[in-house]
Amino acid sequence: MSQYAHPEVLVDTQWLENHLKDPNVRIIEVDMSPEPYKDVHIPGAVFWNIFTDLLLPNLSINLDAKSFEKLMSRSGITNDTMVIAYGSYPGTGAWIFWLLKVFGHENVRVLNGGYQKWNSENRPVATELSTFPPVEYSAKAPDASLRVLHEEVQASIERSDRVLLDVRTLKEYTGEYFFDRSPTETERAGHIPGAVHIEHLLTLNEDGTFKSFNELQNLYNSKGITFDKEVFPYCAIGGRSGYTWFVLKYLLGYPNVRNYDGSWNEWSRLPQVEIQRYS
Residues with active-site annotation:
235
Q: Using DSSP, state whether 123 is helix, strand or coil.
A: coil
Phi then psi dihedrals of residue 274, to 5 deg: -80, 150
Residue pair 82/62 in contact (Cβ under 8 Å)? The answer is no
Residue pair 30/96 in contact (Cβ under 8 Å)? The answer is yes
Residue pair 148/230 in contact (Cβ under 8 Å)? The answer is no
Give the contacts of 144 (CB within 8 A, at least 6 positions apart): none
Question: DSSP alpha helices (H): ranges in the chain?
Answer: 13-18, 35-39, 65-74, 92-102, 114-120, 150-156, 170-174, 213-221, 239-246, 263-267
HSE (CB half, 13 Å, CA atoms) of 58?
Answer: 10
- Give the integer Cα–Cα distance in Å for 54 and 238: 11
DSSP character for 200? G
Rounded (5°) CA angle 17-23-24: 95
Interstrand relation of 108-111 and 82-87 (parallel, antiparallel or unpaired): parallel
CB atoms near residue 52 (< 10 Å)? 10
